[in-house]
Chain A
Amino acid sequence: MRDFAPIADATAFALDRRNFDSLPDAQASSWRKGFASSRSKAVKGPRKLVIEILNSCNLDCPMCRVGQHGVDLRRSMPLSLFRDVITVVPSVEIVRLNGLGESTLLPDFPQYVDFLVKRELSVELITNGSAQMADYKRVLEAGGHVLFSWDSADPATFERLRRGATWNALLQTLREVCAECLSLGNDSRCSLIFTLQNGNAGGFTDVIRLAGELGIGSVQLNVAKQRGKLDQNELDMIQADIRQAATLAAEGGLSLYVPDQITGVRTAVPGAKVTSGTTCRAPWDEAVIRWNGDVQVCNMFNPFVYGNLQRAPFEEIWSGRFAAVFRSKLNTRDCHPYCTACAYIPDAYGHAA
């Protein structure tokens, strides 16, 4: 598989630098020792693939900044390669179209979905809500799940956190998608993802209220990788907000996916879901394939790279030494710093990862 462009710097020599040099010194040393003593060993293939078909976005959210230079459709995984990727991972059951970019910007996006449908795979799409209704309809008609990134129910805050978006236009799209879900008889196929970040603390309850008004089946709370720890006041406010949201959701019969900890502090909410920060199975159950062929760890876009599909077959990368050392360190005190207090909920939407 050698047609990804541009060719990523992913020799073992380069991955040594990319993966280990970015760790704190003491940890880099222990990971390198672990790597030297690890062996490639066969691991059952992933059940879920997160595929980044486009690494470009029409919005410029402060949390991500992938869209800061505008849309560049050259940073995409061509359809032919997408087909190859799916074909070489026979164990896959669920494909999530997600990444640092907006998948629906690709003009041939419906063909990507059609291919997944043909292969009888479950489709999940994470979107910023700016696509044409026809694209969402295609996913929903295929029995798929559309997850909207919705970081605030306040128009001004929303437009500040999702720079370039127009609240009214996106809300109209969301309404139409909800109506389509209801016409298909299943309100659980449309969800909101609220990503807690600088600028929207305390706004979760309002998002739950909005979801209730629109008839949305579920809402997930995610936490952006924070720069430093939250202070106690912020934490208290967030906890109170989540408790209020949980009460509201229970009254409205809305499914809520709230992490059991936020930045390492327990979330005192009944029914809070076990996160990868508590115990993680993601690297055994899912893989991320970036637009340039890099194979990475999980949906949270940990920068650790197992390998690249331009250089080696998927099975070799999946069972290779870089993957082995990452797994061996996970769920220990020496885990990758990016994994600390991770708020990823792998079993959201009934798809245990």
Chain B
Amino acid sequence: MSYFDLRRSRAAADGMKPPPLTLPAILADLRWQLILYRIDRLPTRTIVAFLALRLVHLVQYRRGWNRGAADA
């Protein structure tokens, strides 16, 4: 299997769904981002700012911002 096969084999549908807007899902997402930011050794203030933006992003995405919904 080549690298290109691997990329093609990925079904996009599930990945395009917005994550559920529940507290555990939000926390899991923020924890994931935190792990990545820490590996990259971002300053604490930057991490906090990015996580806040991420939270806004998650909420808005769930409310239909990605589809241009009126209430987003």
Contact = CB atoms under 8 A, between A and B. Distances in A.
Contacts of A227: 1-2, 5
Interface string B9-22: 11100110000000
B6 to A, nearest CB: 5
Interface string A14-53: 0010000111110010001001100000000000000000
Contacts of B14: 25
A23 B6 contact: yes
Contact of A338 (B6, B15, B31): B6
B32 A22 contact: no
A337 B6 contact: yes
B40 interface: yes
A81 B12 CA distance: 39
Contacts of B37: 12-13
A78 interface: no
Given A22-B3, A25-B10, A338-B3, A13 B40 contact: yes
A108 B14 CA distance: 50
A155 interface: no
Interface string B39-57: 1100000000000000000
Contact of A24 (B10, B31, B39): B10
A320 B3 CA distance: 23
A311 B15 CA distance: 29
Contacts of B7: 22
A321 interface: yes
B36 interface: yes
Given A227-B2, A303-B3, A340-B1, A21 B10 contact: yes
Nearest to A225: B2
B40 A225 contact: no
A247 interface: no
A166 interface: no
Contacts, number: 52
What's the interface size class on B, roughly?
Answer: 10 to 19
Contacts of B36: 11-13, 16
Q: Which of B7, B10, B14 has the most CB of A within 10 A?
A: B10
Contacts of B31: 36
A70 B3 CA distance: 22
A329 B19 CA distance: 26
Q: Which of B1, B14, B15, B31 has the most CB of A within 10 A?
A: B1
Contacts of A21: 10, 15
Contacts of A338: 1, 3, 6
Contacts of B69: none
Given A36-B32, A225-B1, A12 B40 contact: yes
A25 B39 contact: no
Contacts of A13: 36-37, 40
A304 to B, nearest CB: 10
Nearest to B14: A25
Contacts of B70: none
A154 B15 CA distance: 48
Q: Which of B3, B11, B36, B39 has the most CB of A within 10 A?
A: B39
A22 B15 CA distance: 12
Given A32-B32, A225-B1, A338-B1, A320 B6 contact: no
Give the 8 A-B CB pairs with smallest separation, nearest first. Answer: A12-B39, A12-B36, A303-B3, A22-B6, A12-B40, A13-B36, A225-B2, A11-B40
Given A13-B40, A22-B6, A311-B40, 10 more contacts: A12-B35, A12-B40, A13-B37, A22-B3, A24-B9, A24-B10, A25-B10, A35-B35, A303-B3, A320-B39
Interface of A: 11-13, 16, 21-25, 28, 32, 35-36, 225-227, 303, 311, 320-321, 337-338, 340
13 contacts: A12-B36, A22-B3, A22-B6, A25-B10, A28-B10, A36-B31, A227-B1, A227-B2, A311-B40, A321-B35, A321-B39, A337-B9, A338-B6
